[in-house]
Structure formats: structure tokens, C-alpha cells
Structure 1
């Protein structure tokens, strides 16, 4: 694959293509320093960034008709790179085996299964764990319970007695901040991130745009543009892009092309999308560590926006 990915002619396609190219070229910075010594108890570290890369790649592959030529190849290479770093799933298996109450091995694994990767021993382990009372009673915040339920749905463990346990999606949603249709002015930075993930998991990252109840949809249609304006004004670009993903998960996306124009203006020539208005570190590896998540969510937002482009006129 060449360094310069083909990009679309519209602003969403340009920003998305450049962010994907930046992720693809800089993927070696996301590798384990030495896979054979990877800490399977590390709560974040390299597992989190590899899982985020797999998420973006798997969604781009799911919406395969959207990207211009070259983007699908880049997504496949990113997904395969992350899978290889996890030793074709062995590290996820070891992590889940040694720490059975951890939910993230399943959450990460779901992105790879969407792209066609399976791990036989991890499949068997997850089936076993899903039937244990200890796992079903794991202490998780409400939006993480939705994350586990959606991961089980994606990966095929959502039957009766499974992780999702024939998930009561209405009940799971009602337990979240968003599900209570709260006072919109009370939202803070962390709650905003939790709210976005509630939408992501209920709708399976925009794959089920009609899964949200009508009252939640109406609430988001009213207040999402306000939140986007607020966090755009203070240049919290990572959160702004997550809010754009929420928009793309709605039955009638607003698209917010003016916000995409602002993202195009702050995006660097090499494709890096800054997480906020602060200076970007000149050291490439540190820049990757700081801004990899923003590139991931930009690819997700752009992919879903293009896939849903015919569903509504821009607001």
C-alpha cells in the first residue's frame, strides 16, 4: 500500500482518508515492545490501543461499499496487524483465563470476530464463563454492561445464559445517564464520553440505528448539536468526534458538515487529528500515543457518516 491513500472529494472523505492513512503508516508504534513479555493484567496499555485500531478497521470493513479504493485494504492490514500483535488471539485468551472477571477480552475480541478472526480456545472459554454466576454478577458501570452485551451480540455469545443473557436492552439503557433523559446542562466531560458509548453499544456502532427508543432519539436530536457546539468551541476534538459518531448512529443523522470543515482545518498535513487545542508533541511515537484514539474515532465517524449519507439532509 502506498503512503498516500486515495481520498474522497468531500470533506468527510478527505478527513477520514487522511486519518486512516496516518493510522496505517504509524501502526508500528502501536505494537507491543515484546509480545512474549506482554502484561496480561495491564488494564489499558497496548491492549486498549490495539482494540481501538481493530474497532475502526472492523467497522470500515463492515461498511465495505463506502470507502474509496485502497481504504478497505488499509483496514484489513490494520486489523491483521492488531491480531498478530495479540498472537492471533492467544494474549486475549491468556488475559481472560488468568483474570476471569475482566470484561475487556470479550469486548476487544468482538472487533476481530466482526473482521473474520476467531480463536477456538477463547471461544470455548467465553462460553464457559458466560454460564458462571460470578461473571454475570461482575461489577460494571451501566455503559460497560451495554458494551459487554453488544460484544456478546457481535461475537455470537448472546443466547440465553450467555453474557448478554437474552439482554434486556431497555433495562440496560434505562440504567444509564442517557436513559434517564437528564437535564442536558448538567453534562460533564466524562459523562459525555459515557453517553456516547451508551449510544454506540445500543446501536452496535450505527449498525442498528433504530434500536434507540423514540424519546432518547428526540432528546439527542435536540441536545446533541448543542453539545457539539460547546466542545467544538473549547477545541476538545476527541470528544467532538465521538459526538459525531453518535449523530451517525441516529435514525436521521444531522451530519454537521460545518464541524467536519473545522476538523479539516485542524487536521495536520500527515493526517493526524489533534485530540484538543494544545500543541502536538514533535516526537512521532509520543504523538501517536497522544492522538491515536482521535484518529480512530475520526475514521469511525467518517465511515459511518458516509454510510448514512443518504438517510437525511444535513442540518
Structure 2
């Protein structure tokens, strides 16, 4: 982005640039523990924070025009994450020991898209993707979209037929369980958990904003109508993480609305050092605990800004 042309872009650049700087400075706090204490079976223990940093770095690789002055930070962050994964060996080991887990594929796809390959993991994933067991793992519908899109992003699938089929699924067609969003349901019945599921449906369906056409006109129109309402609700309750997720959904629409007021609201909630708090409960003075508590919303805020700015820059 050669110049900040609109007020929302200035706010988004402040949020994303500051958040990226905070994560970059504190990245060592997300380093894996020793091999003896590393938990391979739990996706939410040691892997999740690293996966979120990898996603942030991966999006900066895919949207190089978003924060053009921060390319070196993004590269250093991506290389740090890849080194923590022992150049893919840990993902391979995790997938080999727990073949029905899907997050190794999702994490690997971020690196594969940036040119990092792991031959044995490629072979293992190609085998698993051909099995009925891996295809039928019981999970939320939006997680199936995540797996289908990750296989495409990693180059393990050549077309998006799986994603298209999942996005078109209804309760009566092919026996597939639809996502909440695909039903265009009563918007006033959305709750906190459903909102997160809805946001991730959009992220995976649009490949993090790279394929916005996959939403379809019906879902896109529904989101354009109701996103502003949901943003206002969760901004009023100071749920900054969810507000950032909703801003990222807006950025993934075929025609984003880029709500200036909401970007400014998130910018005001952000701390001077770049940290974006989870909510209004406050931030501890302990830097390690602060990283554990608020690394996620700070990564989300970066990702939201990167997609919005990247798409607007072409």
C-alpha cells in the first residue's frame, strides 16, 4: 500500500502494524517446551499459539502489499515458527502418532504455501486424505471446510471441489451437516460460540479472503446486512477478540464494507505496545501471562488488518 487513502486504512494499519510488532518482539514466549514435556496429542496445548503466529506470518506472505514495511518481521516470525516445528518433523510425528487429527495439515498448509515442504509429511497426508476415516472424522462443519481448504492450500488437492461441495451442503442434500451460516438463520439468535464458528466458516470458505467468490451471493448479502449489528453488539461488551474476528470476516467479503468506526474502536482498545486485549478484564503485568492471555486477539487483529489492507491494495 503506497499511501493510506482512507481513514479506515489508517486505523487498520495502526492496529495491524502495532499488533505484529508486539507478537514479533514476544515470539520467544511462544517457543515450545522441552521435548520431554511437549504434548503431541493436545491441539490446544503447545501448538495453538505457534499455529496462530504462523497464520499471521503466512497471511503477510500472501498479502505482501498490506504492511510493506514489515516484511522482515513477517519472515523472521515464519522462520521462527518453522524452526520450532523442527522444519516439519514435529508435525509429521504428531500426524503419524495421531492420524485422525486434522490440525497438522492446517498448520503445514501455511508453510507449504510459502515454500516449506516436508516430504514424509506430504506422503503421509496424501495417504490419509484418501482414507474414509480421515474424511469422516466427526467435527464441526466449519472444521471440515478448514481441512478441505488446507489440502488445497498445501497443494495436496488440485481443485476446490471439496470446498464447493461442503459450502453447498444442506440438511437434506448428501446427508452433510450444514454450517450455521449456510442456513442464513435468524441473526438475533447468534451467541458467542456460534459467532466464532461463523467467522471461521467464512475464513476457510474464502481461503482467508483470497477466494471471496466462494461465499456465494446469498451468504455475502446476509453478512453485509448483519455484520454491522453484530460488531456493534460485541464492541459495546468490549469483546475485542470477537470484534477483530468480525472485522476479518468483513475483509473476506466480495465487497468489504471496512467500517471505519469499528476499526477506530479496536484501535482505541489496543495498548500502546501493540497488544490487543481479549476483553475488558484487564492485562496482567506479568509478560509471560500476558502473552498467554492476549496473544490470540493480537494475532487476530493483525490478520484482520492484513487481509483488509492487502485486498484494498490489490
1:304, distance to aligned residue in structure 2 (A): 1.1
Q: Is the 8 A contact 2:65 2:309 kept in 1?
A: no
User: Who is 1:197 aligned against?
Assistant: 200
Q: Which has the higher relative contact order, 1 or 2, with Cα contacts under 8 A spaced 6 or more apart?
A: 2
Matches within 5 A, 1:126-275: 126-159=125-158, 168-172=165-169, 175-275=178-278
1:60 aligns with 2:30: no
Residue in 2 that maps onto 1:38: 38
What is residue 84 of structure 2 aligned with on the other side? 85
Cα distance in 2 for residues equivalent to 1:269 and 1:202: 34
Q: Deviations over 1:251-289 (max 9, x none)?
A: 111101111111121211111010101111110010000
Say if 1:146 and 1:172, in contact at 8 Å, map to a contact too: no
Q: Decide whether the 8 Å contact of 1:152 with 1:164 is kept in 2.
A: no
1:74 aligns with 2:63: no
- Structure 2 gap ranges (5+): 172-177
What SS does the corresponding residue of 2:100 show, helix, strand or coil? coil
Relative distance call for 1:22 and 1:309 in structure 2 (3 A) is same
CA distance in 2, matches of 1:94, 1:140: 22
Equivalent position of 1:3 in the other structure? none
Separation in 1, partners of 2:150, 2:142: 12
Question: Runs of 4 or more off by more than 6 Å in structure 1?
Answer: none
- How many residues matched? 302
Unaligned 5+ residue runs, structure 1?
1-6
Q: Distance between the aligned counterparts of 2:164 and 2:254, measured in 1?
A: 22
Distance 2:277 2:163 in 1: 40
Alpha carbons of structure 1 residues 68 and 176: separation in structure 2 relative to 1, 3 Å: same
How far 1:116 sits from its partner (Å)?
A: 1.7
Aligned to 1:284: 287
Q: Structure 1 residue 306: deviation in Å? A: 0.9
* Structure 2 partner of 1:28: 28
